[in-house]
Amino acid sequence: MEEAVAAFIEKTEHLLKLEVEAENEEFQHLKETYSEEVLAKRGICLRKLTVESTRTGLGGRSLIKLKSNKPDHPLTAHKFTVGDIVSILPTKFSKAELTKGKPVETKSSDVQQGVIFKVTQFAITVAYSEVPDEVSESGPLSLHMMGNEVTWKRLNDALANLRNGIGGKFDPETHRLCEVLFGISPPLFAHQTSFVPKNSGLNASQIDAVEFALAANDLALIHGPPGTGKTTTLVEFILQSVIQGKKNFGNCRK
């Protein structure tokens, strides 16, 4: 199993690296091709912001809270979320710079990059290792999206955990699950037995899915288009598992 898992990790890490590079190149292309005004309409730039506060957060990182320069005015529509990599720059106002198609002449390598820490209707907080020079300048600021590191970090952390677990370091149950997931061993199922649904509104397909999941010794996959009742089925499965005392449940991080 070790060879199969190691090959999967190596290939996936390479593909993730290519995907991150492609995403960064796409954002850089947009910045070099369009004006701030156009980028704002695409939701990847917030303009005319001002610093509401600056404080030190966990790990000594500087937390910079930005809001609209209009008092009590919500932020304009945008696509910024927690974990996005961003840069803070002075807002460009000249007529030439606001002309459609005029490049924003600042490369990602020329500015410090921060990470979105918190997003509300009226403000965005950005975490920096140190306060960028642009924040101390007078005049409105713009927030530019550069990418998102949370997704890539979680994926790479999962691959690192998988690498650390191969070679007999996993507990027997996890080792068995890896063998099933990588196609080395087939999943095992017990004899399916009927049950009395707690939810009387389940249809035949949902009942079959619950019976299938209850019989699984390793794992069960329940698939269906949006709106077909997968979550309702999952709730019934959990209830029946608790009633039958067949499964152990624990919390997992999102």
CA 84 – CA 75 distance, rounded (Å): 17
pLDDT value at position 2?
Answer: 78
Share of the chain above pLDDT 90, in %: 38
Spatial distance between the Cα atoms of 178 and 138, rounded to a whole number of angstroms: 56
Say if residue 101's pLDDT is above 50: no
Mind listing the pLDDT tens digit for each residue in 150-203? 778 889 898 988 888 776 577 888 888 888 988 889 999 988 778 899 999 999
pLDDT at 135: 79
Average of per-residue pLDDT across 124-151: 83
Is the predicted pLDDT of residue 107 greater than 60, yes or no? no
pLDDT at 167: 62
pLDDT band at 109 (very low <50, low <70, confident <90, very high): very low
How many Cβ atoms from other residues are within 10 Å of residue 89's Cβ? 21
Considering the entire predicted model, what is its pTM?
0.56
Q: What gap in Å lies between CA 248 and CA 216, rounded to an integer?
A: 13
| Alpha-carbon 213 to chain mean position | 28
User: Cβ distance 124 to 75 under 8 Å?
Assistant: yes
Q: Measured between alpha carbons, how far is 136 from 52 in angstroms, rounded to an integer? A: 12
